[in-house]
A and B are shown apart, each in its own frame.
Chain A
């Protein structure tokens, strides 16, 4: 086997073009996905059955089927209907870029909604009761207590979801987009160096996921600061009456 480092260096700039598209896809669909996930998760956490049922079906469908089917349904499926092809949406649906964004957003919204729901349900009841005791209305509670707390609780798990999204974004290459994987495949069709090019692409994926992990560690630290708060050591000769047992425990 001959190993050609040369092709990696030669095509690295094109691979990086692909990497930018990959990151753009993850970022844009991640943002749209979160925006959709918040109302979905609130509905899902509701106690009213007819409010719960729509998000349940939605989440069940998108979590129970492969992303590849979803992306093909949006890209190839939509064009089956003349009504879609004649509609004002066609200029958007015509482009593989937007089809990928739509499919990824719908998919990640389902997974994130489920994460947020379990986070909402993990908020200690006492905190909600306290908010109620303060006379907060339901919507103020959602804004000030439920969402910020749920976000903090869900953050580490959401970080994982973003990594899964990054990995899923490779499917964009199946609908002709030149993301990192698509770019690598196109280069390989010419150079016949699958191992070299896929290795290079893999390294770029690992680097991107390392950055995402780092970013989420940082955000988690900022968001859940209260958990990382360190009290200064209590002076040893402090009057026992002034000791706070909670602080000493930490």
Chain B
């Protein structure tokens, strides 16, 4: 396929897409863990807040989230900041808006994944941790979290694929990702089919790589299965 010298542009777009996806993943994981903790907490207000978060976000189009944060975000932030006596302009660029929107969306689904995983851990695990004389915190980090992680990885892997595909939406507000760069190439070459197909293939490669990585992580997180000979 003839890319007419636009290969490097697509490559730089791919790099932007990867950066966007990974940053959103990290922030989204924090949202997800916090959400799950809130949903399982004894505090009614926290539970209510987390339920509101997941219900709302899972019913809203991701594109609408991206647009709202990009076009309305600075207005909102400035309003909040003015409450603290800060009245200068706060700018939200496409990358930041993208990370915010995608991680909020990812976090809402990840909340459910983590919650399910946490509920799968039998109480006995907690109790035996205590019986060994570990503190609650120590039990959580040494016993519970590694198991939650193992149970959550397949679900999180699927969510990351969704996230990866949703990064394309951020091109609508002008981030120079794969989509945007293919559009730049198209406006010069007049070959929309060629370049969108190339873009599609890049996304396919990325999702395939993610599948591979998820499988690898599953192995790493599960030493018991790895060491067993069966």
| Interface set of A (CB-CB < 8 Å, partner B) | 1, 60-61, 64-70, 72-73, 76-81, 163, 166-171, 173-174, 181, 184-185, 188, 194-195, 198-199, 201-202, 205-206, 209-210
A194→B68 contact, CB < 8 A: yes
A77→B192 contact, CB < 8 A: yes
B207→A64 contact, CB < 8 A: yes
* B56 interface contact, C-beta 8 A: yes
Give chain A nearest CB distance to B81 CB in angstroms: 11
* B179 interface contact, C-beta 8 A: yes
* A77–B190 CA distance with the chains assembled, in angstroms: 10
B63→A194 contact, CB < 8 A: no
Known contacts A64-B208, A79-B192: A181-B61 contact under CB 8 Å = yes
* B71 interface contact, C-beta 8 A: yes
B172→A61 contact, CB < 8 A: no
Known contacts A64-B208, A73-B196, A79-B192: A171-B63 contact under CB 8 Å = yes
* A169–B208 CA distance with the chains assembled, in angstroms: 25
B196→A72 contact, CB < 8 A: yes
Among A1, A80, A205, A210, the residue within 8 A (CB) of B79 is A1
Among A69, A169, A170, A210, the residue within 8 A (CB) of B196 is A69
A195→B186 contact, CB < 8 A: no
Give chain A nearest CB distance to B224 CB in angstroms: 27
Cβ–Cβ < 8 Å partners of B204 in chain A: 60-61, 64-65
Among B76, B165, B191, B192, the residue within 8 A (CB) of A1 is B76
Among B61, B71, B75, B79, the residue within 8 A (CB) of A168 is B61
B71→A188 contact, CB < 8 A: yes
Among A1, A195, A202, the residue within 8 A (CB) of B60 is A202
Cβ–Cβ < 8 Å partners of B186 in chain A: 76
| Interface set of B (CB-CB < 8 Å, partner A) | 56, 58-64, 67-68, 71-72, 75-76, 78-79, 82, 161, 165-169, 171-172, 179, 186, 190-194, 196-197, 199-200, 203-204, 207-208
A1→B190 contact, CB < 8 A: no
Cβ–Cβ < 8 Å partners of B71 in chain A: 188, 194, 198
A173→B192 contact, CB < 8 A: no
Closest to A201 in B: B64
Closest to B192 in A: A76
Known contacts A67-B165, A80-B191: A163-B208 contact under CB 8 Å = no
* A224–B59 CA distance with the chains assembled, in angstroms: 25
A181→B193 contact, CB < 8 A: no
B193→A81 contact, CB < 8 A: yes
B203→A64 contact, CB < 8 A: yes
* A21–B190 CA distance with the chains assembled, in angstroms: 30
Cβ–Cβ < 8 Å partners of B171 in chain A: 68
- Pairs across A and B, CB under 8 Å, 26 listed: A1-B75, A1-B82, A60-B204, A61-B200, A66-B165, A66-B166, A66-B179, A67-B168, A68-B168, A69-B199, A70-B200, A73-B197, A77-B192, A77-B193, A80-B192, A163-B59, A167-B60, A168-B61, A170-B63, A173-B63, A181-B63, A184-B64, A194-B71, A195-B75, A198-B67, A202-B64
* A205–B71 CA distance with the chains assembled, in angstroms: 19
B60→A206 contact, CB < 8 A: yes
